[in-house]
Chain A
Amino acid sequence: DQQVKQNSPSLSVQEGRISILNCDYTNSMFDYFLWYKKYPAEGPTFLISISSIKDKNEDGRFTVFLNKSAKHLSLHIVPSQPGDSAVYFCAAAYGSGNTGKLIFGQGTTLQVKP
């Protein structure tokens, strides 16, 4: 049972344009969401997170939007840069306090063309 889904295996955008990566979830108990970026031969690197009490969180070029009613979140990267080319994972967690078990989507490979 895939509780977190990233339905687009890949995405290609031109440098300078917006990249939009999507993620859907099924468990309404999730109350914290994260995005990680992964380069080959490296571990996932934390990018940005959002609590379920918010609908938007921004950090520089990265913005995460959460639509609880649709159980959908998205990551916007503006402007996209070639160095952003990587695999992006969304992850979800529930329960108060410390993040315990993270449940990941399958990942979306982003390619930013110069």
Chain B
Amino acid sequence: DAGVTQSPTHLIKTRGQQVTLRCSPKSGHDTVSWYQQALGQGPQFIFQYYEEEERQRGNFPDRFSGHQFPNYSSELNVNALLLGDSALYLCASSRRGQGRIRNIQYFGAGTRLSVL
């Protein structure tokens, strides 16, 4: 059973460019969340997708956008890259609709983005 997979593993971009990161959730999961982890910090929530719609959003500018496809996979897009966008981007998947049972988020290995 494949876990959460992310691509690419590493990416180098220059300021002002646009980037797209991809995530395939764990089998059986229908919800995808994206996090940004700066060096020495904990992951910060960007947004969450369920049923192809953004359901929750953290404190990130509109330059950060996403998409979820019918097969539950997801993309994170960042426009007009800034040096400060350099970070590890983590995707997490979970299964929704379990009532009072909390569903654990499982993480991929991340995409390391460097903006020069």
Contacts and interface: CB of A to CB of B under 8 A. Distances in A.
Interface of A: 4, 6, 32, 34, 36, 41-46, 49, 51, 89, 91, 93, 96-107
Task: Determine the main DSSP class of B at the interface with A.
Answer: loop
Nearest to A107: B42
Interface string B43-82: 1110010000001101000000000000000000000000
Given A43-B4, A44-B90, A99 B41 contact: no
Interface in B11-54: 31, 33, 35, 40-45, 48
A82 B41 CA distance: 23
B58 A101 contact: yes
A104 B105 CA distance: 13
Q: Which of A44, A51, A96, A106 has the most CB of B within 10 A?
A: A44
A36 B56 CA distance: 22
Interface string B73-116: 00000000000000000101011111110111111111000000
B102 A98 contact: yes
B109 A41 contact: yes
Given A43-B109, A43-B110, A99 B103 contact: yes
